[in-house]
């Protein structure tokens, strides 16, 4: 590590760190800085450490969380809302530009603090005590938290109970439990991973103690890597008109508020379609709002998600026909010939994108496609395939449901 040097922050990088330029022209990453600031710091590899802000940006604001700067969960609480949102929109614009794509970027939707309904909390032993929190910045260590300004208040209120719940999962010295906590309509659902399974797995005594801790806190369900440990009530979530069971460890959008906005954008884009496909449908976040107006073919690789969707469909009246099938669309995409009777296709793939599926949509005669993505880079790659086949990317809606992070979601509308 070198002695302190002066740097000017040129701009923000794609991961939420400032790009610092030294007096001799060297460029490095500078966390927790903002464009235009002058700092003094030491060089450590491709980054700077020990940042002291000599000239602060007028866009710098007091971070609302007492753990900010040490906790690695948030990177940008110190940035004023308007330039922060403009930067997130810029991430999408830059990803599209790298593929030569221009389109209308709609005003971004940003979730409010306190609306994150699922978090992953890490538990660690420190002597006889258990600490619960998030990974510290640039470290494997866990920063114990007493609050979280992005999380749903029901998660924050449950932190002491979740800490007690974690205790029985430390039987094996190599266990490093992570509690995946989700707020549902019927209570908290917790799936625990990172528990060493060698030596017979969790003992009967530990299972009893975990169940007792869950019962004392009135949690809906606790599972161990999907295996049932405790259930008082089936965790249920609402997707449009339907209330659907949530599979253990099942995928759910981080914010119900953002999910509603994305679902509204999707349904508005396909309004008037008689028959459509919802690809990578999960448990039905878009399927059920779509099925209020159109027949839907719903496909997803997760059999558990499809089973949950089927249960929600059976319990909901007034929907158009939903045909749901478990199908790995990365290995076996819906073929162009199978889309002959479709008026529109909706696709919401994981971060790796949907290149194989986009290729089939491009080869089909479907006139309308709507892509939902959590990765602007893979979205842009897939969009280029559709555009080359005659689609036009009509508009993109940026959605910021991972507040104060470098992640941004989007909804893009393609028309022939």
The CATH number covering residue 335 comes to 3.40.50.150
**Angle CA(311)–CA(313)–CA(316) in degrees, nearest 5?**
110
Same domain, 91 and 173: no
Same domain, 296 and 165: no
Catalytic residue among 65, 71, 148, 374: 374
164 part of a folded domain: yes
Distance from C-alpha of 339 to C-alpha of 363, rounded to nearest angstrom: 10
Same domain, 258 and 332: yes
| Residue range of the domain that includes 183 | 118-236
371 part of a folded domain: yes
Distances (CA, A) of 333 to 93, 360, 378, 380: 28, 7, 17, 19
pLDDT digits (tens, 9 = 90+) for 36-55: 999 999 998 888 988 999 99
Q: Express as a percent the part of the chain with pLDDT over 90.
A: 91
| Strands 392-400 and 368-373, bridge-based pairing | unpaired
374 catalytic residue (yes or no): yes
- For residue 284, the number of C-alpha atoms closer than 13 Å in the C-beta half-sphere is 37
65 part of a folded domain: no
Whether residue 1 has pLDDT greater than 70? no
User: What confidence score (pLDDT) does residue 2 get?
Assistant: 64
Distance from C-alpha of 408 to C-alpha of 376, rounded to nearest angstrom: 8
Would you state the structure tokens that stand for residue 316, as one six-digit string?
């909901």
Number of domains making up the chain = 3
> Which is nearest to 410 in space by CA: 101, 98, 108?
108
> Which is nearest to 94 in space by CA: 376, 404, 348?
376
Of 236, 263, 293, which marks where a domain is finished? Answer: 236
Same domain, 307 and 402: yes
Distances (CA, A) of 371 to 20, 346, 365, 405: 35, 6, 17, 22
pLDDT digits (tens, 9 = 90+) for 388-408: 999 999 999 999 999 999 999
Distance from C-alpha of 94 to C-alpha of 101, rounded to nearest angstrom: 9
Same domain, 257 and 347: yes
Same domain, 179 and 318: no
Same domain, 261 and 403: yes
Same domain, 210 and 358: no
Q: What is the CATH number of the domain that holds 30?
A: 2.40.50.140
Same domain, 13 and 94: no
Same domain, 294 and 380: yes
pLDDT digits (tens, 9 = 90+) for 137-181: 888 889 999 999 999 999 999 999 999 999 999 998 889 999 999
Same domain, 166 and 300: no
52: helix, coil or strand? strand
Same domain, 166 and 35: no
The arithmetic mean of pLDDT across residues 272-294, rounded, is: 97
336 part of a folded domain: yes
Whether residue 63 has pLDDT greater than 70? yes
70 part of a folded domain: no
């Amino acid at each position: 590590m070198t002695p302190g040097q002066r740097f000017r922050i040129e701009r923000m990088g794609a991961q939420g760190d400032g790009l610092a330029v030294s007096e001799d022209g060297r460029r490095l990453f500078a966390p927790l800085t903002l464009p235009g600031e002058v700092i003094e710091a030491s060089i450590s590899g491709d980054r700077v450490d020990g940042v002291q802000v000599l000239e602060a940006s007028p866009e710098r604001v007091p971070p609302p969380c007492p753990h900010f700067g040490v906790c690695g969960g948030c990177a940008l609480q110190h940035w004023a809302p308007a330039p922060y949102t403009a930067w997130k929109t810029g991430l999408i614009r830059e990803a599209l530009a790298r593929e030569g794509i221009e389109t209308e970027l709609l005003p971004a939707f940003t979730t409010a603090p306190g609306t994150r309904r699922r978090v992953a909390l890490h538990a660690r032993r420190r002597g006889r005590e258990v600490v619960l929190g998030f990974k510290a910045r640039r470290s494997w260590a866990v920063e114990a938290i007493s609050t979280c300004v992005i999380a749903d208040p029901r998660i924050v209120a449950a932190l002491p109970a979740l800490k007690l719940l974690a205790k029985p999962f430390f039987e094996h010295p190599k266990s490093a439990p992570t509690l995946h906590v989700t707020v549902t309509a019927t209570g908290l659902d917790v799936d625990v991973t990172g528990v060493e399974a060698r030596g017979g797995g969790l003992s009967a005594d530990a299972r009893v103690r975990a169940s007792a801790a869950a019962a004392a806190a009135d949690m809906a369900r606790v599972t161990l890597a999907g295996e049932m440990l405790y259930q008082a009530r089936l965790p249920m979530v609402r997707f449009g008109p339907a209330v659907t069971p949530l599979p253990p460890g099942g995928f759910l959008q981080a914010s119900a508020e953002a999910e509603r906005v994305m679902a509204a954008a999707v349904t508005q884009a396909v309004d008037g379609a008689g028959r459509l496909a919802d690809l990578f449908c999960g448990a039905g976040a878009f399927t059920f709002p779509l099925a209020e107006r159109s027949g839907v073919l719903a496909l997803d690789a997760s059999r558990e998600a499809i089973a949950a969707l089927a249960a929600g469909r059976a319990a909901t009246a007034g929907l158009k026909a939903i045909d749901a099938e478990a199908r790995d669309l990365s290995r076996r995409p819906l073929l162009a010939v199978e889309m002959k009777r479709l008026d529109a296709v909706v696709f919401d793939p994981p971060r790796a994108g949907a290149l194989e599926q986009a290729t089939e949509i491009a080869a089909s005669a479907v006139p309308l496609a709507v892509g939902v993505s959590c990765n602007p880079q893979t979205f842009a790659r897939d969009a280029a395939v559709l555009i080359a086949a005659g689609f036009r990317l009509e508009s993109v809606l940026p959605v910021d449901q991972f507040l104060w992070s470098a992640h941004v979601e989007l909804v893009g509308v393609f028309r022939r």
